[in-house]
Amino acid sequence: MKAITVRNIDEGLAAQLKKESRKRGRSINSLILDSIRASFYPQSPPGAPMTFHDLDELAGTWTKTDEREFARATAAFEDIDPELWR
């Protein structure tokens, strides 16, 4: 397995890592590995293959009419209220 060194961990973060590892009864290394895995493999057990639950299957399926309707329905989100930016 590859070893990676993480540099410049500030004292506050180091203290939080130590505290959390003691709380979970795990090493700091395993805590960090689990955190990294969770960021790359959300909602999957550590080491499990990545499963996606996104909208990729819908990409490119809109018609021009769908696009126009969406643009019309969301046009109000483009308005800027000058009073809010004073």
Q: Evaluate whether 50 touches 44 at the Cβ level (below 8 Å).
A: yes
For 4-17, the pLDDT digits (tens) are 999 999 999 999 99
Model confidence, pTM:
0.47
Assess if residue 69 is contained within a domain: yes
Assess if residue 51 is contained within a domain: yes
Tokens of 65: 């009419």
What is the number of domains present in the chain? Answer: 1
For 51-84, the pLDDT digits (tens) are 666 777 777 888 999 999 999 999 999 988 888 8
Assess if residue 85 is contained within a domain: no
Handedness of CA 77, 79, 85, 86 (dihedral sign): negative
Assess if residue 84 is contained within a domain: no
Assess if residue 26 is contained within a domain: yes
Least Cα distance to 26 among 17, 39, 38 occurs for 17
Tell me the residue range of the domain where 15 lies.
Answer: 11-79
Assess if residue 5 is contained within a domain: no
Assess if residue 3 is contained within a domain: no
